Amino acid sequence: MLKKKDPIFLAGHKGLIGSAIYRRLIIDGYKNITTVSKNNLDLRIQEKVLKFFKKNHFKAVIIAAAKVGGIYANMTRRAEFIYDNLSIQNNLIHGAFKNDIRNLIFLGSSCIYPKQSKQPLKEDYLLSGKLEETNESYAIAKIAGIILCKSYNIQYKTNYKCLMPCNAYGPGDNYHSKDSHFFASFIRKIIEAKKKRKKEIIIWGSGKPLREIIFSEDVADACIFFINKKTKETLINIGSGYEKTIREYASIIANYFKAEINFKFDNSIPDGTPRKILDNTIARKYGWYPKIDLETGLSLTYKDFIKRNIK
């Protein structure tokens, strides 16, 4: 059990999930949180990461740092996605172990599971089939991180946990027109279309795939919850149970913003995995449940979008 004064290293504190974790740690009264910018520490360079760990004396590490993006980014920057993610996570996980840090959270994604897997996705389904081609590089990197954590747990009795959330959204998201995930992309496109009085927006793919979404603050809550738990399992799904089609999410967001917009679907862009909904039995067994509903989460996300003056 972490004490409020114990030193914690949070990697990736400026991203969607990392910033939510940082806010939650502060709210919960943790007083010794270390963060570091990319300019001051390149997590891809092992020597620098090992020196950083040796200099500090952390009790826990939370790894939210990663190269992430939507389907376009995954398809066009495959080499970066596998190299950068493997380098970052290997250096952090191994650095933690070398410095006798027993508690660690490694964050991944539901894309680690096979494309045609049975649903809902159980942790046992990992490596049971072929991955979705468009995010293969990212998924393989994350799978390697899971196996690395599991190996240290088995061989050295560490308490490293890998949390796999479904599609997350919330304050601090990336709204880039090509690199963002679908939910953030819809928010930007629909807000801009309403401002410009456009009657139609283009959505990549058929709009038919089913996706489960979760608010970033709920993922942060899960991180704090499980870093203070001793679990038998290394891999734990973090889902909301809330699932809609891509087309339905576009309609929900348009209705929220009272935007009368038609959707045109670009079938030249791959749909990706047809369905991804997580089995959350293990997380629920330990007593963790999501708390934020979609309307609340969307409202908070919109406020952040406006505050940051996204252009």
Residue 229 domain-assigned? Answer: yes
- Alpha-carbon gap, residue 78 to 87, rounded angstroms: 14
Q: Are 149 and 160 in contact (CB under 8 A)?
A: yes
Assess if residue 267 is contained within a domain. no
Structural domain boundaries, residue 156: 8-170+214-241+274-292
Q: What are phi and psi of 9, to 5 degrees?
A: -105, 120
Is residue 83 domain-resident? yes
Residue 249 counted as domain residue: no
pLDDT tens digits in sequence order for the chain, 311 residues long: 899 999 999 999 999 999 999 999 999 999 999 999 999 999 999 999 999 999 999 999 999 999 998 888 888 999 999 999 999 999 999 999 999 999 999 999 999 999 999 999 999 999 999 999 999 999 999 999 999 999 999 999 999 999 999 999 999 998 876 778 899 999 999 999 999 999 999 999 999 999 999 999 999 999 999 999 999 999 999 999 999 999 999 999 999 999 999 999 999 999 989 999 999 999 999 999 999 999 999 999 999 999 886 65
How far apart are alpha carbons 50 and 14 in whole angstroms? 22
Active site residues: 138
- pTM of this structure: 0.95
Any domain includes 126: yes
Closest CA to 9 of 194, 276, 25: 25
Instruction: Indicate whether 111 belongs to any domain.
Output: yes
**How many domains is the chain built from?**
1
Residue 84 lies in a domain: yes
The enclosing domain of 55 has a CATH number of 3.40.50.720
- Greatest CA separation found in the chain? 60
Quick one: 19 exposed, middle or buried, by C-beta within 10 A (0-12, 13-18, 19+)? Answer: buried
Q: What is the DSSP letter of 278?
A: B
Look at residue 36 and tell me if it is in a domain. yes
